[in-house]
Structure 1
């Protein structure tokens, strides 16, 4: 016997924006899961099919075995069937839990949490060649976000490509104006803003042209031919954007190894993020905080000018997406130097200045966490910066503020920290 069932499209329905509760509930299949489970339970004599992509495999086996299927295949299909109903029921449970949470304003971090993953594809290898890896979609949702991005040209994406592209896309998505980020090992080599895509790209590239080689380029705007022409001048691993003009795509396709990804800009990130530890999982809400002018607290004798505030807010946003300890030197529309991932904050200050390819004189500085000592301020002042943005909150804030005043710097506190590990 054979049972073939395609369940009502509940998952696809709730993945759409603004679907009424009644419509979603109407797509909950009742009889289908029962038939699937019954057939799967009796896999000794019943072939259960829940995935249309398996039809060809099953037909070929039936041809080879005079219309029958093997025990091995039936057992494999039964496992897939139970997995299918488990994911389907889990999606329904998640949906109703979400409804309940919305009604009672419950916390996202509930007492029990399940993560269901469905494989999209195998990857060549993991972070290193000796590690195995695959790409999965999360929970009940349709393939979306970066996992659902369309590869328009180039080689298949690697594990490291996905990690770096995620960092790049999250960074440029934090800007409402035209922005471009060039990323290496999840850290920004350069970020630029502009009135056009090519202007923003050129500013990002100018920050650190050497480190941009082999990097990831993310645009938060459509890519035109002028921008594409610039991108192809140096070796680039991946370019990602919400859209590519036909002429731009033809230019990018001339680089056979360049991966060209199109992503839907309206896709929202998951509300929670996870980090695995031995024996458990750390779960936290995403860092979606966006700083505005009215949140800044001036703590020095000198207040920043409007142009300096623009530069400080820009530097702060880039710093948010840089590995701690993070220091970013910038102007209002361009990074000048980035010091990332150092164990000492003052070392990040030094490295950011050392890596600067453009004049530091007149730039501003952002720090993802407070300065524990005045040495970071003293070091930054050597390079002619004019203003600093940092969270504040150190027991030595008075000393740090005094140092800024001594050097004639404007400094603002945000009250928000942006550690990134």
Structure 2
């Protein structure tokens, strides 16, 4: 498989070759991948495949820079997701619904993403992607007409990859750094309800299993908040776990605030692009528009935006509940619990094993949060 270039355009890349001769985990249907495209695709495909195995539902992910910006299971798509794109929710099938839910977790970061689906891509999803800014897609198959539609994106350069669900990787995996070859046993632990010990109701259990799949393929440290089959806030690659928790919590708040009537009522001029409408909603909620942005935001609207003050925000955020919080490593301090509680966490899932695990458990009991310890760490680097 020929690659356009390596990690950066100035780095040449040798052709990609399967470790097991003749056993390609995926093939190129259209376009030409870069090294990062393949890293995204290989990680994203494993995420959605394992999420489907764990939950039995169609799964989708939106990948950027070797971590998911969003991930979701198929389910109802609320109007706050479809309104910015002018889409009728009734027109969506399971693959299109799963992807829209995944992209809605952090639509600003999903700009130019690598899309992953656990099931064959429908013509409806292909049509939907035709109007979104994405760089490529990986899935185990494509229904008739889907590839032709996708291949027209980006002047014919849109990357279309087909994964082979029958290919299982070798027991050992190897990487090379600075002339040193590193080998380890692949993490083959199945993500099953048994890890959760029957402590969660069905909806939270599905969220927790999706969260475990998300974190297995997110750069560590990582945590995620989940609600109704959607990873609504993912924090990746932070050196401090509580920074991860706060970052993911801010994304969770943004996801929930985008459902506020004042945000949904923003009236944009007809010529404003769909992605710009999405981005303006997020920047409006950030509350720190620069002087230049304030002028451009006002010019993009047909009517002035309603003020959304601190009291209004707090009242709306207080309505968010039933969130499941999952961590790839042990929570080292109770501050993670306190922050998760601020963002509606009703359940926390973590490996356990910290020297302060008793303090973490006490904090969960104090705040009425169900604590589940899996004994399974999911670091990914």
TM-score (norm 1): 0.66
Partners of 2:103 and 2:218 lie apart in 1 by 17
Q: Give the root-mean-square deviation of aligned CA atoms.
A: 1.7
Q: What is aligned with 1:212?
A: 110
Aligned equivalent of 1:316: 212
- Decide whether the 8 Å contact of 2:45 with 2:163 is kept in 1: no
Q: Which runs of 4+ in 1 moved over 3 A?
A: none
What's the offset of the Cα at 1:388? 0.5
Counterpart of 1:199?
A: 97
2:70 aligned partner? 190
Contact 2:219–2:237, Cα closer than 8 Å, also in 1? yes
Give 1:1-400 correspondences, 5 Å limit. Answer: 120-121=1-2, 123-139=3-19, 141-146=21-26, 149=27, 151-153=28-30, 155-174=31-50, 175-176=52-53, 177-194=57-74, 196-255=94-153, 256-297=156-197, 303-356=199-252, 357-359=254-256, 361-400=321-360
Of structures 1 and 2, the one with the larger relative CO (CA 8 A, separation 6+) is 2
Q: Deviations over 1:311-365 (max 9, x none)?
A: 2222122112111111111124211100000000000000001123422532110
Indicate how the Cα distance of structure 1 residues 233 and 390 shifts in structure 2: closer, same or farther if over 3 A, else same: same
Larger Rg: 1
Q: What's the offset of the Cα at 1:293?
A: 2.3
Structure 1, gaps ≥5 residues long: 1-119
Rounded to whole Å, the distance in 1 between the matches of 2:171 and 2:145 is 36
Shift of the 309–124 alpha-carbon distance from structure 1 to 2, 3 Å rule, reads: closer
| 1:137 and 1:143 in contact (8 A); partners too | no
How far apart in 1 are the matches of 2:333 and 2:97? 38
Tell me what 2:87 maps to: none
Q: Mark the CA change 1:279 to 1:250 in structure 2 (over 3 Å): closer, same or farther.
A: closer
Q: Is the 8 A contact 1:181 1:217 kept in 2?
A: yes
Q: Gapped runs of 5+ residues in structure 2?
A: 76-93, 257-319
| 1:227-263 CA distance string (max 9 Å, x none) | 1112222111111111112222222122122111122
Contact kept? 1:304, 1:411, Cα under 8 Å: no
Conserved 8 A contact 2:139-2:161: yes
In 2 relative to 1, CA 307–348 (structure 1 residues): closer, same or farther, beyond 3 Å? same
Q: How many Å separate the matches in 2 of 1:145 and 1:139?
A: 10
Cα distance between partner residues in 2 of 1:291 and 1:171: 11
Give me the whole-angstrom Cα distance separating, in 2, the residues matched to 1:140 and 1:187.
26
Q: Cα distance, 1:385 vs. partner?
A: 1.1
Q: Within the alignment, does 1:403 sit opposite 2:358 as a pair?
A: no
Number of aligned residues: 293
Q: Distance in 1 between matches of 2:184 and 2:190?
A: 17
